[in-house]
Each structure stands twice: as structure tokens, then as C-alpha cells.
Structure 1
Amino acid sequence: MMLTEAERKTSAASARPDRARPRSRITPEREAEMYEAVLDVLRESGYEALTMDAVAARAQCSKATLYRQWTGKPELIAMALRHQKPATLAGVDTGSLRGDFRAMVAQLDDRQMLKNASLMRGLVQAVHTHPDLFQALRDLLVHPELTGLDKVLVRAVERGEISAASPTLTYVPHMLLGALIARQLIEDKSADRAFVSHYIDAVVLPALGA
């Protein structure tokens, strides 16, 4: 997991969407409404059937307005998910690895996670046939979180909480994401705050030797 400085710079650069084209100004509140509109349509229709026309109708704006803000459907969906992401490690620094993970878990919203469970399953399937969606999700959603997680782990190593030589470091993202997906498959339940908290305490931290 531990990224080199060059890898961090590359990740940060790739996580920035292309904003060279002109953008009209919209308020943060209006932007949030548009994000909610696209996620509502996505939940109802799925990725394949979602169109910019449908999003424009739900958001009560023109399709041209959407294209002035976002390059297309993949970027709009990725940014909408990033906007309402339930938990993040970005900016978290409690002074301990356990505290950082607990701060992340405290941000989770059980109702939102349940609401988005089927949506995320649909997107996992869609990325296999839509490379543009795959790239948008990696650049705008996954890479920023990997960078945040890397910073948390680096600080834990510097504090002596975990060993820099631990082979588990590479697989922390896989463990966290895998748990969210696996619970639905194994228990037919969406992950919630209690499950994630117990999983971190029982699996992630012991695996790291923390």
C-alpha cells in the first residue's frame, strides 16, 4: 500500500478532473441537487439505461447545463458518489491508527449505505463493460481515498504502531473494500457501521499488528 512520493503525485494528478473547459457557475446547493438527481435516476434505471436527458429532467435543468459542468455520464456519476461518500480518511488525524479508523466509521450513515447497496452492485457490474466509467471511478473516487489511507498508514508507521515491513500494508484497501462486498454475498446484508467497526477491530488492526 505504501506509495512512493512519485506515486502520490501521479495519483493526485490523475484524481483531478479536466477543468480546462469553461464552466457555468452554480451554487453548492444546486450542485448537490444535481448529484442527488443523478443518483436517484441511477437507482431507478441502472447505469445502462441512465441518460443525461433523464438526469436533466429530474434535476430540472437543461442537458447543456450538465455538459457545461461535467464531461458526461461517467464523470457525473463519479462526482455524485464522491459528493455523498459516507466516510473518508481524508483529513483524519486523531493521533492513533485505531482512532483514525474509528473517526472514519463514525462518519458512516447506515440508512445511506442501505440505500446505495444495490446501486453499488450495479456499478461493479457496469465497470466491466464501460472502461470510461471504470476510469472515472478510479480517478475521482478511488485514488483520493487510497491517498488518504496511505497517509494514515504512513503516520502509524512513523509513530511505531505498525511495522513498515508488514506485508499486510499492501492489502489494507483490499480488506476494507472486500468486506463491504462480501457481507452482501455471504449474509445477504449490506454493511453497516457496526459491521465495519467490528471488522476493523477483529481483522484489519490485528493483521497489521496494531
Structure 2
Amino acid sequence: MNKSIMALSMITTLSLNAFAAQHEHDHLTVDYHGKAATPATIAHNAALAKSLNFDDKVAFERFSKNQIAEFDQATADILRAEFSFISEQFPDSVNPSLYRQAQLNMVPNGLYKVTDGIYQIRGTDLSNMTLIRGETGWIVYDVLLTKEAAEQSLKFAFEHLPEGNNLPIVAMIYSHSHADHFGGARGVQNLYPDVKVYGSNNIT
């Protein structure tokens, strides 16, 4: 298992770059049940948008490579419903670079191969769930934001993994303390009660 954990060092984080130059997207008003954006916020977001190159689609193309299985409609309805408000249009009230990242997060749609023995479920939550094949079972690196997303993501993965479908989840690792990297732990534990948990001491 130590050998497998060391494989974590091979995982690279895809950079979600903000793209610089002109902005030609239409805007829309989205009801977030909060305070409306102030004129200063709207003006700031509009000025920032003009500096971003929304024609650069390289990151979107990279996120879509090496797909093994795409979500069927039923799975997509369960896993992606809470992000259905994300569209091609940019709300005036949201930082356009952050909204671009949200759009990019919804491009992947299923199970992907990272390298030999390492796979990811992408497009179900704010983060990606990584599965690493160990000597006695699978290690889950980051377990998403909610137990529902984690549980459904694992069920989908084990239906489509090209190897080790009969192996259990033996460990889960929290990379850091943001909720979208540990919040789904209960979903993993519901499926695999004996799973062990690893994380840094006093992680911040």
C-alpha cells in the first residue's frame, strides 16, 4: 500500500487558468436569494471580463481527454443536478474568472484514466474524486463535498473501471480541509465500513 500512496505524487492538478482578452458573452440575472450586486461590483466584473480571453478553450479540451465512461442520463440527473444553474451566460454579479472555472468544472462528465492504476470521477462536484489501485484494494484521494455525490460516484466508477472492480475501498485520504475534499466521507463509509482515513495533523 505504501507504494500505491507514493503514486499520489504522480497526480498533477489541472490548472484552471483565467483566460485574458476580450469578453463577448451575454449576461443574465440569476436569483441567488441574496442581496443584489452593487453597481460597483457589476462595474468591476465587467471591467475584469474585458481582460479575459474566453476564446481560449485549451483547458476545456484537456479536461475531456482519456474518458473511459460517460454518465448515463439517470446518473447525470443525480450527480449534476445541483449545478444545473451554470450556463454559457455570465451573471453580472459573479466574478467572470470564477464563473469560468465553474463552467470548466462541468465539462468533464464521467470516469477518466489519469495513468496506470489511477482514475478519476470528474464533473460530479466541486472537486474530482481520485481512485488509486493499491495492493489490497482502492485508495480514494479526496471524497467530494457530499455523501450523496461520493456514494453515487463510487457506484458509477465500479461499474466501469477496467480493472479491480471486485476490490474494496481500503483507505481514503483528505488532501486538505476544504469541505469539497472531505465532505463526502460518509458516503464512502456507508459503502465500505472498514475504510481507513488518512489526513495531515492539524491540517488547515
What TM-score comes out, normalization by structure 2 length? 0.26
What TM-score comes out, normalization by structure 1 length? 0.26
Report 1 or 2 for greater relative contact order, CA contacts < 8 Å, sequence distance ≥ 6.
1
